[in-house]
Structure 1
Amino acid sequence: MTIDYARNVIRRSRLIMPANVPRFVEKAFLRNADAIVLDLEDSVPDSEKIATRERIRELLPVAGKGGSDVLVRVNHTADLLLGDLEAAIWPGIDGVMLPKVESAGEVLRVEEHISTLEQKRGIRSGHVKIGIIIETAKGMLRLEEIACASARVDSLTLGAEDFSADCGIELGPETYQGMLIPRMNVLIAARACGKIPMGLMGSIATYSDADQLVKNAALAYRHGFLGASCIHPDNVEMLNQAFSPTEEDLAYAHQVIEVFEESIARGRASTKLEGKMIDIPHYEKAKLILDRANKIAQLEEKKKRSREAAIGGL
């Protein structure tokens, strides 16, 4: 069965934690991120990558005890990828983040290896998902085939920093329009294939500028993105709020549903609200907003219960 992850999975915030710093991972469950990423890639020095991945299995339950999904970002290199997957695919993992993807074949090879490890280690078949990160011009050119390569792929992200370096596009307000094109390509491909479109209208590197991060996240949400990664715990709630419907959104959605259903009862499939036409697309969008809010509330309750249980057990 094909899953529309964009409609059924909430992933507003992914908190990236360097897996070689255990004290960061130990506190990650308190941050209320929708997902915690144990990073083996960019935040881990080359000299520590092998030793760090050997600790991933013991870190999985530590990161997951607050109810967040637990992901591992692997190194997508010939010398490290398979070893990273071997170290990461254990009970307690929910997905891997695969950076620098440039073809559907790469996705399928990772999927095959994950399937083997699931079977070997008693993990439900298909449980471990793949989050795709597009970071090169080659990957962008093959975006559609990559996005739809596997039912395991649950999200699509533009790695803006690496992509800008690969293409020579500076990241900044003066190049917003240039970077908007690849960002929207990622979003459209994700939506077409039922994946979660993730990303900011800016760089996650500007984590210390709270006002700018909130603006970038809110703008991304208005463009159709449903979440983003962050590298500092202080950014988590900013993302959670920015990628959630506001009280005003919910109130308006309720009004749209009410007036439209009243119109349908009168035999008409269009009406107006606050001087604007309301028809089927507006009605369907309003239902999606309310459904997303309900799923967010359920996830928040799950995380709250898990955190309370974890704190009580300390």
Structure 2
Amino acid sequence: PAALFRAQEIAAADPRNTASFLGGEDFATAAGMVPDPETLFLPKMTVLFAARAAGITPLGMIGTVADYKDLGAVRENIRRSRKFGFEGASCIHPSVVPLLNAEMAPSGKEVDNAERIVKAYAQAEKEGLGAITIDGMMVDVPVAVRARALLARHAAIRARESR
């Protein structure tokens, strides 16, 4: 568990580092705790924040992936983990690969929404506006940045799939 206190230093240790993750089962065993979403939340998020601070990709799922046979639970874990900012995860079984690919990728609806936000916010910036409303939702710099990042991620996934 001592490495958790150096997560940011580890994530930024070398420019060749591209991603960071925490092995939930390993960490829980070393820390003497039960590996579940509740107990692993803090250590997993600590590693995610360290990865973001280092400018690398945070990988992982909030809970443990040991029970991979309950695909419904795995799918929900992936969705929850993506919501918290994880961008991918390792797979302990081939059955998890299609779930990760489907759930970690932006949906068509998310892409459409991001495209609308980016287009509308670009126009707003030209007009000197710092915030606008789209469908009753406030859109400002962080929302536009998040939309651009989603589109970049979508483009990267599409490029990879076309190889």
Q: Is the contact made by 2:38 and 2:63 (CA closer than 8 Å) also made in structure 1? A: no
- Give 1:161's aligned residue: 25
* Conservation of the 8 A alpha-carbon contact between 2:124 and 2:131: yes
Q: What is the aligned partner in structure 2 of residue 229 from structure 1?
A: 90
Structure 1 stretches lacking a partner, 5+ long: 1-136, 303-314
SS in 1 for 2:9: helix
- Count the aligned residue pairs: 163
Q: Specify the alignment match of 1:259 in structure 2.
A: 120
Equivalent pair of 1:207/1:230 in contact (CA under 8 Å): no
Letter in structure 1 aligned against 2:4? M
Give the structure with the higher percent strand. 1
Distance in 2 separating the partners of 1:159 and 1:209: 20
Cα offset, 1:155, TM superposition: 1.2
TM-score (norm 2): 0.95
- Which residues of structure 2 form unaligned runs of 5+? none
Alignment-derived partner of residue 130 in structure 2? 269
Q: Hey, what does 2:155 align to over in structure 1? A: 294
What is the aligned partner in structure 2 of residue 193 from structure 1?
Answer: 54
Structure with the bigger percentage of helix: 2
Of the three residues 66, 90, 102, the one matched with 1:241 is: 102
Among the aligned pairs, what percent are the same residue?
32
Amino acid at match of 2:98: E
TM-score by length of 1: 0.50
Once the two structures are superposed, residues 93-142 of structure 1 have per-residue CA deviations (whole angstroms, 9 ceiling, x without a partner) of xxxxxxxxxxxxxxxxxxxxxxxxxxxxxxxxxxxxxxxxxxxx111111
- Match of residue 74 from structure 1: none
Q: Distance in 2 between matches of 1:177 and 1:170?
A: 9
Q: Which amino acid aligns with 1:151?
A: P
**One of 126, 133, 142 as aligned partner of 2:6:** 142
- Which one of 38, 42, 47 corresponds to residue 177 of structure 1? 38
Q: Could you say which residue in structure 2 is the equivalent of 1:21? A: none
Question: Could you tell me how far apart the structure 1 residues matched to 2:62 and 2:45 are?
Answer: 10
Deviation digits for residues 44-73 of structure 1, max 9, x if unmatched?
Answer: xxxxxxxxxxxxxxxxxxxxxxxxxxxxxx
Structure 1 ranges of 4+ moved more than 4 A? none
1:285 to 133, 146, 153: 146
Shift of 1:143: 1.2
What is the Cα deviation at residue 239 of structure 1? 0.4
CA positional deviation for 1:178: 3.0
Matches of 1:231 and 1:182, distance apart in 2:
20
Structure 1 residues 71-86: aligned runs within 5 Å: none
Show the counterpart of 1:204: 65
